[in-house]
Structure 1
Amino acid sequence: MSERSGADLVVDCLAAEGVTHVFGLPGTTIMDVIDALARQGAIRYLSTRHEQVAGFMADGFSRGGGSLGVCLASRGPGAANLAIAVQNAHDESIPMLALIGQVPSSIVERRSFEEMDVVSTFRPMCKWAVEVHQAARIPELLQRAVRTAVTGRPGPVVLSLPLDVLQAPATAVPGPKVRFHPPAPDPAGIAEAAWLLAAAERPAIIAGGGARDPAALLDLAEAAGAPVVSTWLRKNAVPNGHPAYLGPLGYGAHEVSDRLVRDADVIVALGCRFSEFTTKRWTLVPASAQLVHVDIDPDELGRVHPPRVGLVSDATAAARALAAALAPPAAADPGRADRRRQRRDALRKEFADAATLPEAASSAAGVSSAALAHAVQVLADRDGTVLVQDVHTFGPWIARHVGFDRTGSYHASAGGAMAWGFPAAMGLALARPDQRVVSLSGDGSFWMVAQDLETCVRERIPVVNVVVNNYAYGNTRDRQRTAHDGRYHGVFLDNPDLAAYARLLGAHGARVTTDAEVGPAIEEALAQPGPGIVDVVQDRMEGLPPGLVPPAAK
């Protein structure tokens, strides 16, 4: 048996950490790791057609609740291609490990072929970046990399692996798998927050990406008699049909959802960063409100809005502690709880009326967005189906009019990276093989990663791609319409028949041009055992829900 190498040790350490999948693209400096993956059976390696796709697949795999998503790339251009996925995961607080092959240590700083300072390049866009200089330190640094990615505020970590380190003899062994429990809230802070909530007349709860336990959120909402809104693209924070839920904030939010926050006297923000879109460019949260801000990262507390009570804590632990502190309700004003619930019920009715899906206009050319939204609602209600929303102009229809009641059935990225949806759906499908994953993409986003439909076919990943095909970069088109007097430039596209493209690669393909065809075409695609495309052809000016105007660039 040949001597074990640094690359073998890397793979052993990944297996010891519970990694089951690695996504990547071959290249000279990472080939020893790929070879080590080929000589074992615990970890499945999948090659993609672009490093960006590998990174987005790792992102989706982590979101799907599988083991840690891991991606790899070779030096220089390969690493640069991976950067957008790393940056998006960092912005979204998604745990991910990126392994990057590096030039040998003996020729570093000689401007050797495809040489890049990996650590300096990636440090601003990840939680931690480090280069390994000795094979003996692989277990130590790789375990620290995994631990850093998954604990605290999650995020991507980049490990640079010089070729000589990967090829060096290695006698070290993987260390034990170590995890830390998330921090619990300070009891004195919980008591103060509970006192504020008990005295509130117009409380509001904002659930961010860090609030991942719907039951804990709803227990708090019931104990406080408070409505819940979620941050931008986090509609799955609680079941949308619950009487406490008043929708998402951000682009596409209903007026009643924004008003709830503007009128609040006490706001509890759980795992929320007060991002630009969620807060209407930091104008939504009133200065008069008493703010209870909970986040696992102390740097987030007070970054945008100074809190009355700041709690460094896991959001779920804080929600449970607050709910317990509020039960039984304070008796100082017996009518207060009734007034809060009556107010919540009235706001919920207003929200439900606003969220009702409009009927499709019969004169629409191509498929109307209203008809597509009705078909998406059917998918949202279907057991065993997961929806992944890319960055496209159809997104506000989902924010305003599609409800999700099943935990984990909806995923979207607020990082803004186009083309995230399809590869992330591939990763999610691998993490949840018992569910069917549907990706909703615009034609602009889809064509950035369309080549990896071949990866879907080759690796038998049964993702259904619903491509909203309006022959345009729709978000920019709408801004040119509203902010540039309708001077359209560089936003309209030409597309081939996407269904024919799918069939060319061995996938299922369907092309629909009328409202009546949409639902049956999606159902037919889901009935197939493998991947597919449903090409939803729209008029090139089809876009936002009625009355919605895109926010101006400032």
Structure 2
Amino acid sequence: RAATILAGARSPVIISGGGVVMADGVDAARRLAEHLSCPVVTSYLHNDAFPASHELACGPLGYQGSKAAMRLLAKADVVLALGSRLGPFGTLPQYGLEYWPASAQVIQVDTDARTLGLVKPIALGIRGDARLAAEALLAGLQGSGPAPARDETRLTEIAAEKTAWATELAGLATPSQTGRISPRAALTELARALPADAVVSTDIGNVCSTANSYLAFDEPRSFLAAMSWGNCGYAFPAAIGAKVARPDRPAIAYVGEGAWGMSLTETMTCVREQIPVVAIVFDNQQWGAEKRNQLDFFDGRAVATNLENPDFAAVARAMGAEGTLVEEVDQIGDALRAAIASNRPTVLTLRLNQELADPFRRDAFKPTPTRLLEKYRSLSG
């Protein structure tokens, strides 16, 4: 039945989620997408669930995700969610875009039957392994008739949306000054300098979450993130674990200075056990996510969100690690490359300005917030 729905689709879109990575199913998802000539978007914080350089790859959904992914998903008449729970942060409106296609037929594949149809209505739920499901769907489509020709019109549309978003994203970074680096400029330079085989972990927070716009991977098992639970202090321990598991791959943690205060003591673990993880600490002297909420919801006022930080690079050196303070945007790439080449535990502190991205939910603190999930509708004012 799922193959029949896909065969009749005019504008199908595949959402490739974490279940695809865990099932070693990225190649199966790629072959299915190529058969359908359909765009592939990745679920929230699973930017490694489809090769970013592929012509059908459109980037991630969710907070600070890809507008190309969102616009193409909004036009879908059939959505195949492979290995995704379709969690709230990956399906709620972003940038003012209501991009979830309410009238589309949704086929959801997940190993946990409890997630099927939990967040979004579905036409068909399949409890199963994402790779096996993708392979079975492709076999079903191939067995139903000759392979369709490449849809050049669709491919042109995909390329145009990706180009438009890349151009818009490049223009979002504001000018940087010494000791006042634009967060988006910093994220751009880091993305350019990341090795292709790097494993990146991101913490929760305003700057780290904005990295969703910039992090792109061609290899699976390359991205670790705090997900919807939002546990502050996650990124550095996650990177340590990744480096121990795969010592052949560079491991890099993106951490806000607030979260860094919860995990910096593990620098001593890295020194003692000779684990060469690189921590990139975004020092903007504030709890950014909390301040952004307060400024929006409390008429420009903020309480208990400013931070007076020590020199984290000097603290790292006192612990026996390498520590570098970066205050110029054009030094970021070289600093990251040098940190990786040193094969030593390294803390790079980037001095940022206090520019902040959107809050996670603009409406959440209103007297009558919009209840976007059915299970909370009874709580609406």
TM-score, length-scaled by structure 2: 0.86
1:434 aligns with 2:243: no
Decide whether aligned partners of structure 1 residues 549 and 468 sit closer, same or farther in structure 2, where only a CA change above 3 A counts: same
Amino acid at match of 2:327: T
1:386 aligns with 2:195: no
1:231 aligned to which of 12, 25, 43: 43
Cα deviation for residue 442 of structure 1 reads 0.2
Q: Distance in 1 between matches of 2:162 and 2:68?
A: 9
1:290 aligned to which of 98, 102, 105: 105
Amino acid at match of 1:472: Q
Q: Distance in 2 between matches of 1:470 and 1:408?
A: 29
Which residue is 2:316 aligned to?
Answer: 502
After superposition, what is the alpha-carbon deviation per residue over 1:96-133, rounded to whole angstroms, capped at 9, x for unaligned?
A: xxxxxxxxxxxxxxxxxxxxxxxxxxxxxxxxxxxxxx
After superposition, what is the alpha-carbon deviation per residue over 1:140-166, rounded to whole angstroms, capped at 9, x for unaligned?
A: xxxxxxxxxxxxxxxxxxxxxxxxxxx
Q: Distance in 2 between matches of 1:452 and 1:396?
A: 22
Decide whether aligned partners of structure 1 residues 242 and 328 sit closer, same or farther in structure 2, where only a CA change above 3 A counts: farther
Amino acid at match of 1:255: K
Aligned positions of 1:140-179 closer than 5 A = none
Decide whether aligned partners of structure 1 residues 343 and 374 sit closer, same or farther in structure 2, where only a CA change above 3 A counts: closer
Aligned positions of 1:484-499 closer than 5 A = 484-499=298-313
Which residue is 2:61 aligned to?
Answer: 249
Q: Distance in 2 between matches of 1:243 and 1:503?
A: 44
1:203 aligns with 2:15: no
Contact 2:178 2:327 in 1 (8 A): no
Cα deviation for residue 527 of structure 1 reads 2.5
2:214 aligned to which of 401, 416, 423: 401
1:417 aligns with 2:231: yes
1:278 aligns with 2:90: yes
Contact 1:198 1:330 in 2 (8 A): no
1:454 aligns with 2:273: no
Which consecutive segments of 4 or more residues in structure 1 shift more than 3 A?
A: 281-287, 328-332, 334-360, 362-365
2:293 aligned to which of 470, 475, 479: 479
Partner secondary structure for residue 89 of structure 2: coil
Decide whether aligned partners of structure 1 residues 357 and 458 sit closer, same or farther in structure 2, where only a CA change above 3 A counts: farther
Decide whether aligned partners of structure 1 residues 227 and 196 sit closer, same or farther in structure 2, where only a CA change above 3 A counts: same
Partner secondary structure for residue 342 of structure 2: coil
Contact 2:197 2:219 in 1 (8 A): no
Partner secondary structure for residue 407 of structure 1: coil
Which residue is 2:361 aligned to?
Answer: 551
Partner secondary structure for residue 211 of structure 1: helix
Query: How many residues are paired up?
Result: 357
Aligned positions of 1:31-180 closer than 5 A = none
1:302 aligns with 2:117: yes
Decide whether aligned partners of structure 1 residues 485 and 456 sit closer, same or farther in structure 2, where only a CA change above 3 A counts: same
Larger Rg: 1
Q: Distance in 2 between matches of 1:234 and 1:325?
A: 27
Decide whether aligned partners of structure 1 residues 215 and 354 sit closer, same or farther in structure 2, where only a CA change above 3 A counts: farther
2:337 aligned to which of 501, 523, 533: 523
Decide whether aligned partners of structure 1 residues 219 and 453 sit closer, same or farther in structure 2, where only a CA change above 3 A counts: same
Partner secondary structure for residue 348 of structure 2: strand
Decide whether aligned partners of structure 1 residues 211 and 354 sit closer, same or farther in structure 2, where only a CA change above 3 A counts: farther
Contact 1:221 1:244 in 2 (8 A): yes
Cα deviation for residue 396 of structure 1 reads 4.2
Amino acid at match of 2:320: G
Cα deviation for residue 436 of structure 1 reads 1.8
Identity of aligned residues (%): 34
Higher RCO structure (Cα 8 Å, ≥6 apart): 2
Q: Distance in 1 between matches of 2:280 and 2:352?
A: 12
Decide whether aligned partners of structure 1 residues 347 and 284 sit closer, same or farther in structure 2, where only a CA change above 3 A counts: closer
Which residue is 1:315 aligned to?
Answer: 130
Cα deviation for residue 363 of structure 1 reads 4.5
Partner secondary structure for residue 291 of structure 2: helix
Amino acid at match of 2:213: R
Q: Distance in 2 between matches of 1:335 and 1:378?
A: 35
TM-score, length-scaled by structure 1: 0.60
Cα deviation for residue 277 of structure 1 reads 0.9
Partner secondary structure for residue 506 of structure 1: coil
Q: Distance in 2 between matches of 1:262 and 1:328?
A: 29
Decide whether aligned partners of structure 1 residues 336 and 378 sit closer, same or farther in structure 2, where only a CA change above 3 A counts: closer
Partner secondary structure for residue 466 of structure 1: strand
Cα deviation for residue 328 of structure 1 reads 6.9
Partner secondary structure for residue 252 of structure 2: strand
Contact 2:208 2:256 in 1 (8 A): no
Q: Distance in 1 between matches of 2:8 and 2:335?
A: 53
After superposition, what is the alpha-carbon deviation per residue over 1:50-87, rounded to whole angstroms, capped at 9, x for unaligned?
A: xxxxxxxxxxxxxxxxxxxxxxxxxxxxxxxxxxxxxx
Which residue is 1:219 aligned to?
Answer: 31
Amino acid at match of 1:388: S
Decide whether aligned partners of structure 1 residues 433 and 335 sit closer, same or farther in structure 2, where only a CA change above 3 A counts: closer
Decide whether aligned partners of structure 1 residues 360 and 330 sit closer, same or farther in structure 2, where only a CA change above 3 A counts: farther
Q: Distance in 2 between matches of 1:262 and 1:515?
A: 36
Partner secondary structure for residue 18 of structure 2: coil
Cα deviation for residue 505 of structure 1 reads 0.7
Cα deviation for residue 444 of structure 1 reads 0.4
